[in-house]
Structure 1
Amino acid sequence: MSPVFEVANLKKAFGGLAVTNNVSLTMSPGDRIALIGPNGAGKTTFVNLVTGNLSPDSGEVRLGGELVTKVDAIGRVRRGLVRSFQVTRLFQDMTPAEHVGLAVLQRDGKTGHMFGNFLRMPDVMAEVDDLLGKLGLAFLMHRKVSEIAYGQQRLLEIAVALALKPKVLLLDEPAAGVPQSDTGRIEQALADLPADLAVLMIEHDMDLVFRFARRVIVLASGAIIFDGLPEDVTKDARVREAYLGSYANASHIT
């Protein structure tokens, strides 16, 4: 199977300090990868580099075989690389239906309809109904974002991302800040993601990492120190030292 996403020898330094140090990564359709590492490991910088929000000093990024290293963030979204953020970036005065509908219009290049009543367009509303229904948000579609719970807002972010029909989805701590009682909904949404979608999730919750990922990558000091199976990550001495600490010695994963 041909790779859908490739990063080769990516480097970035600030003031002489290497924050991304020769990082390479290949993803295929259907991959479920967790990217973990201690604070300051370079995870956010890496994601900013691959999404086009930051320019690398050297290295390459390819999406579907196309070199996109110099393509801006919007251009990468149009090519199928979509990111959700650790802190929700929704518009509080808009509704879930409007958010998803606008994403559909952006994806299809119908930006001229964004200032009209696009929610009366049958094709747009069919996708809005489908996506919000799958994520259990249909009953909230016409409520303002400011009126819905934070966990539901995180689900809405996933709906907006899926409306763009990504080939590669980057999830930045999708359950961050969500009450424990609502995390099950987030996990179910992750489990229900399209089977052919390549997903890279940045996450600190190790329980969620082990339930979601089929492959784990660990960053430390801007470099990959582990890339392998979840069941092997806690056995790696470098990972124990750099990130997992006492968690790696917990009885429930040994």
Structure 2
Amino acid sequence: MSAVFSVERLSKSFGGLKVNHDISLSMAAGERLALIGPNGAGKTTFVNLVTGRIRPSQGAVRLGGEDMTAVSAVGRVRRGLVRTFQVTRLFSEMTPEEHMLLALLQRAGRATRILARFRGDAALSDEAADILATLGLTEVARRPVAEIAYGQQRLLEIAIAMAQRPKVLLLDEPAAGVPSSDTPLIERALERLPPELAVLMIEHDMDLVFRFAKRVIVLAAGEVIFQGLPGEVAQDEKVREAYLGSYAHAGR
């Protein structure tokens, strides 16, 4: 099966410091992949390289066979490579519905128009409602963001990303800051994402990672030290030493 997304020997150095070195991976349509690693492993730099926020020292990023390495961050989003962020970037007084309409207008190149003019646009409203329903946000669609739970705010960020019609979705710690009682909301929402969508998740919650991912890649000191099945990762000695520690030794 051909890759919908791949990186080839991706590297980044800042002066003499190698933050990412010779990273290669690929994803097929519909794949659920987790990228994990200890703090300082280079995960954030990797995401910034992939999404075009910084330029690599060497290597290539490809989407559907097209070389994205010289394409801007905005150009990558328009071609279907979309990410979320570790920290929410929402407007507290706006509702989820308004956020979605704004995201859809931005995708259509009409974000400079007055939002109120498009509330009666049936096509936009239906698409916004469908995405919010997929992420389990229908009941809070018309409440200000400041009044909804933080876990729901994280889901809204995923919904906004879905408004861009991604082919590949990068989730940067979707459960970060979410109370453990709300983690099931994230998990159920991820299960409802389109089956053809390739999803790469970076996350520290190992329980969520092992339930979500069909394949796991472990990054340590800027290099890939493991690629394999979730059931195998905790048995790898390099992973146990670099990241999982007591979690792996507990046999989880």
Assess same fold via TM > 0.5. yes
For 2:132 and 2:124, the matched residues in 1 are separated by 12
Q: Corresponding residue for 1:127?
A: 127
Q: Corresponding residue for 2:3?
A: 3
| 1:20 maps onto 2:20 in alignment | yes
Q: Corresponding residue for 1:32?
A: 32
For 2:239 and 2:137, the matched residues in 1 are separated by 38
Q: Corresponding residue for 1:231?
A: 231
User: What's the CA shift for 1:215?
Assistant: 0.3
- Bigger shift: residues 219-228 or 130-139: 130-139
User: What's the CA shift for 1:135?
Assistant: 2.2
Q: Corresponding residue for 2:49?
A: 49
Q: Note if contact 2:88-2:153 (Cα within 8 Å) is conserved in structure 1.
A: yes
Q: Corresponding residue for 1:156?
A: 156
Q: CA RMSD in A?
A: 1.2
Q: Note if contact 1:41-1:219 (Cα within 8 Å) is conserved in structure 2.
A: yes
| 1:80 maps onto 2:80 in alignment | yes
For 1:115 and 1:136, the matched residues in 2 are separated by 24
Return the letter of the residue paired with 1:189: A
Q: Corresponding residue for 2:61?
A: 61
2:119 counterpart SS class? helix
Return the letter of the residue paired with 1:32: R
For 1:185 and 1:7, the matched residues in 2 are separated by 31
| 1:165 maps onto 2:170 in alignment | no
- Identity of matched residues, %: 65
For 2:114 and 2:176, the matched residues in 1 are separated by 31
User: What's the CA shift for 1:210?
Assistant: 0.7
For 1:156 and 1:205, the matched residues in 2 are separated by 20
Q: Note if contact 1:102-1:114 (Cα within 8 Å) is conserved in structure 2.
A: no
Q: 1:163 to 1:225 in 2, by over 3 A?
A: same
Q: Corresponding residue for 1:203?
A: 203
Q: Corresponding residue for 2:143?
A: 143
Tell me the TM-score normalised to structure 2 length: 0.96
For 2:12 and 2:173, the matched residues in 1 are separated by 23
| 1:97 maps onto 2:97 in alignment | yes
For 1:4 and 1:134, the matched residues in 2 are separated by 23
List per-residue Cα deviations over 1:2-26 (Å, max 9, x = no partner): 2111101111011211000011111
Tell me the TM-score normalised to structure 1 length: 0.96
List per-residue Cα deviations over 1:212-243 (Å, max 9, x = no partner): 00000000000000011111111111101100
Q: Corresponding residue for 2:181?
A: 181
User: What's the CA shift for 1:133?
Assistant: 2.0
1:89 counterpart SS class? coil
